[in-house]
């Protein structure tokens, strides 16, 4: 075992070596980390007389006070001068000097340069340097950490074989054990994302990420998977494993496919390239499977067949056989009549909650396990999802505004009633009438707030989507902003206070124009920036689409050109929106002429200027209940964008 004295570079203390020291001590070495005078926690000792000699004295004190001999002196960056001085003054005590990211180098010294100070890399380097023989290297070296003797970890997740048959996690694990026995491999930790399917664009796989972190730390000898594509059906993540092996110099790191007993040594360039080729093949296969599934789904729909899902659903005992649950089917019909009559889903939700109507328990197809426990109350979104199912009208799917794929048997709802119901519910999507965008609400707009609930208010139109009969009787649309949603309240219901939309929009618009044209504000030449939230959203979406495009161009699936063309058109459209957000007309309007031109450019331009003028708009509750439909401007509190 060796004795190490670790010297940090400029501005760092001995703590910078903690990770290195931990690994060395675990290997049985004696380690001393030095903090030099005048830096880090000893900054209070800084003085004009503290120089290289003083720092050398600090290192010598550690060596002499500890009675250390045959010291391996490791110096990082600016610590090299003090270390060189110590080696010169105490040659009998210093056996070797290792310079990390530093120079110039004296005769007999070795230089080690890398972008990261990783403990295992330094450990290997130091052990190599302590071997017999003097070394003198003027060039950087590439270190490698030999992990070939470490156990091979296992990764499993939901998968299918080449024939499209399912392969359970348990079967994968059993195959991995058999392969390890055949190849005489010592298995280590098991990482399982059993609930994460092998699909493109799948959600993050936490155990896979945990394994990658272990690989970065040099604590894994490799990975055994049921199939190489299990390493990732996503090229970006799979290639990351290769990058980790290269960046961290993991010699002997292997990926093993238990289904083929194929071994890839990723520290070998030929094997690494073969592994990457297999990942490309896997993604190409995934694209082909997706296209095949879409075609199969369309065929089933045209034939009038259910395309997937559980047999038991609310209203159905067996949806595939069109066997109705009569009590639940009658509830769907009742809800359909009520929503088409008054346009409110909330009333049905509250009624069902009072009557104790809850979600049903759903079993797997073979009836052996519970897929969904049930027993939960229906909220607004769940009830809408139940009512909007095309199977209620006796069709397999609703797409492009039409019911497609007539199912055999009797339907719960008539086709006409279903289409009217759908029109009512879709007209209320996101709290706005069809073909209307409210001035103060909408996606990424959080200006309008309720002071009582501290939540955002949404636009509503009382009577939107009501039946033609009620409209003929003179029912009028009354647009207003309403506190309908509070995530912290029971059933997530807001206090339901409202304010007239037309009146509020008029007041807010007039005040925004006054703010924009205020001489004092113009004199300050305030720069108004575009909606940063929208810019971030565009940047995020562009990054996702461009990444998808870079993978799609590798595919050789017939007809892939059409998908590429559609994707490129979407990227171009988003890029044009992003460029528009960066144009001078959007980013700033600092003169009265520019402000006027932009204000008069159209509704959307004016709406954006109104959003830019305010930091927030708050609505106070009514003081008297009888004033519920009377507009009161005293309820409005605004904070402008330039407010302190």
600-to-305, 437, 596, 606, 609 alpha-carbon distances in Å: 54, 18, 6, 7, 11
Relative to beta strand 30-33, strand 3-7 is: parallel
CB < 8 Å & 24+ apart, contacts of 262-268 = 262/228, 263/183, 264/228, 266/222, 266/241, 266/242, 267/144
Q: Return the percent helix, strand and coil in the chain, to nearest 5.
A: 45, 15, 35
Question: Residue 33 pLDDT more than 90?
Answer: yes
Q: What percent of the chain has pLDDT over 70?
A: 75
pLDDT digits (tens, 9 = 90+) for 226-265: 877 654 444 555 677 888 888 777 889 999 988 888 899 9
Question: Residue 102 pLDDT more than 60?
Answer: yes
Of the two residues 545 and 382, the one the predictor is more confident about is: 382
Cα separation, 449 vs 456, in Å, equals 4
pLDDT digits (tens, 9 = 90+) for 624-633: 554 445 778 8
pLDDT digits (tens, 9 = 90+) for 133-186: 333 332 233 345 788 889 999 988 765 544 445 677 888 889 899 999 999 989
Cα separation, 483 vs 499, in Å, equals 9
Work out the average pLDDT over 357-373.
78
Count of Cβ atoms closer than 10 Å to residue 548 Cβ: 16
Work out the average pLDDT over 283-295.
78
Give whichever of 391-395, 536-540, 552-556 has the largest mean pLDDT. Answer: 391-395
Calculated CA dihedral for residues 589, 590, 593, 598, nearest 10 degrees = 10
Of the two residues 537 and 124, the one the predictor is more confident about is: 537
Burial 206-234 (b: 16+ CB within 10 A, else e): ebbeebbebbbebebbbbbbbbbbbbbbb
Of the two residues 604 and 573, the one the predictor is more confident about is: 573
Question: Residue 607 pLDDT more than 80?
Answer: yes
Of the two residues 586 and 88, the one the predictor is more confident about is: 88
Model confidence, pTM: 0.38
pLDDT-derived band at 204, boundaries 50, 70, 90: low
Burial 182-197 (b: 16+ CB within 10 A, else e): eeebebbeebebeebe
Q: Which one, of 182, 264, 271, 179, lies nearest residue 228 by Cα?
A: 264
Q: Check if the beta carbon of residue 114 is closer than 8 Å to that of residue 124.
A: no
Q: Check if the beta carbon of residue 375 is closer than 8 Å to that of residue 361.
A: yes
DSSP string, 321-362: GTEE-HHHHHHHHHHHHHHHHH--SHHHHHHHHHHT-BPPPE
CA–centroid distance for 4 within its chain: 43
Which 3 state secondary structure label does DSSP give 222? strand
Q: What percent of the chain has pLDDT over 90?
A: 14
Of 27-41, 409-423, 510-524, 551-565, the one with minimum mean pLDDT is: 551-565
pLDDT digits (tens, 9 = 90+) for 382-396: 898 899 999 999 888
pLDDT digits (tens, 9 = 90+) for 134-144: 333 322 333 45
Cα separation, 588 vs 597, in Å, equals 12
State the chain's mean pLDDT as an integer: 77
What are the beta bridge partners of residue 481? 459, 499
């Amino acid at each position: 075992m060796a004795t190490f004295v670790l010297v940090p570079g400029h501005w760092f203390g001995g703590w910078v070596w903690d990770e290195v020291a931990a690994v060395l001590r675990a290997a049985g070495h004696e380690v001393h980390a030095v903090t030099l005078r005048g830096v880090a926690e000893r900054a209070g000792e800084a003085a004009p007389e503290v120089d290289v000699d003083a720092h050398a004295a600090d290192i010598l004190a550690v060596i002499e006070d500890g009675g250390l001999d045959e010291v391996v002196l490791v110096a990082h960056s600016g610590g090299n001068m003090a270390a060189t001085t110590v080696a010169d003054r105490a040659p009998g005590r210093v056996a070797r000097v290792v310079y990390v990211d530093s120079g110039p180098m004296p005769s007999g010294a070795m230089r080690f340069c890398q972008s990261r100070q990783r403990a295992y890399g330094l450990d290997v380097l130091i052990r190599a340097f302590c071997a017999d023989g003097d070394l003198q290297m003027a060039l950087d070296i590439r270190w490698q950490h030999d992990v070939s003797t470490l156990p091979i970890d296992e990764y499993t997740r939901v998968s299918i074989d080449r024939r499209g048959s399912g392969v359970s996690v348990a079967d994968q694990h059993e195959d991995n054990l058999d392969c390890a026995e055949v190849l005489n491999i010592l298995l280590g930790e098991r990482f399982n994302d059993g609930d994460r399917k092998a699909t493109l664009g799948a959600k993050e796989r936490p155990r896979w990420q945990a394994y990658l972190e272990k690989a970065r730390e040099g604590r894994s000898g490799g990975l055994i998977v049921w199939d190489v594509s299990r390493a990732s059906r996503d090229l970006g993540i799979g290639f990351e494993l290769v990058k980790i092996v290269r960046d961290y110099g993991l010699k002997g790191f292997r990926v093993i496919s238990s289904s083929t007993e194929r071994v890839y040594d990723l520290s070998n360039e030929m094997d690494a390239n073969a592994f990457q080729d297999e990942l490309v093949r896997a993604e190409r296969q995934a694209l082909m499977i997706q296209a095949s599934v879409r075609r199969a789904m369309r065929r089933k729909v045209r034939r009038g067949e259910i395309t997937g899902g559980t047999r038991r659903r609310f209203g159905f005992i067996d949806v595939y056989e069109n066997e109705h649950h009569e009590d639940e089917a009658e509830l769907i019909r009742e809800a359909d009549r009520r929503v088409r009559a008054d346009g409110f889903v909330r009333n049905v939700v509250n009624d069902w909650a009072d009557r104790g109507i809850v979600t049903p328990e759903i079993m797997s197809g073979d009836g052996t396990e519970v897929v969904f426990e049930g027993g939960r109350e229906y909220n607004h979104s769940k009830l809408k999802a139940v009512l909007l199912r095309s199977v209620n009208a006796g069709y397999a799917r609703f797409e492009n505004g039409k019911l497609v794929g007539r199912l055999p048997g009797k339907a719960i709802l008539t086709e006409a009633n279903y289409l009217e119901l759908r029109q009512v519910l879709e007209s209320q999507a996101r709290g706005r009438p069809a073909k209307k965008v409210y001035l103060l609400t909408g996606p990424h707009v959080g200006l309008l707030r309720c002071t009582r609930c501290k939540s955002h208010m949404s636009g509503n139109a009382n009577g939107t989507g009501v039946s033609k009969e009620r409209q003929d009787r003179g029912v009028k649309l009354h647009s207003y902003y309403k506190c309908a949603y509070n995530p912290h309240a029971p059933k997530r219901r807001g206090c339901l206070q409202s304010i007239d939309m037309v009146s509020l929009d008029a007041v807010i618009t007039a005040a925004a124009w006054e703010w924009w044209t205020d001489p004092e504000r113009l004199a300050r030449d305030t720069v108004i920036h575009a909606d940063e939230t929208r810019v971030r959203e565009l940047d995020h979406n562009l990054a996702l689409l461009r990444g998808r495009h870079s993978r799609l161009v590798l595919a050789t699936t017939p007809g892939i050109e059409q998908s590429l063309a559609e994707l490129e058109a979407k990227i171009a459209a988003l890029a044009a929106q992003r460029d528009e957000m960066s144009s001078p007309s959007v980013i700033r309007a600092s003169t009265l002429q520019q402000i006027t031109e932009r204000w008069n450019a159209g509704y959307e331009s004016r709406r954006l200027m109104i959003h830019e003028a305010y930091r927030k708009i708050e609505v106070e509750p009514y003081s008297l209940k009888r004033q519920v439909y009377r507009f009161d401007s005293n309820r409005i509190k605004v904070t402008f964008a330039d407010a302190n």
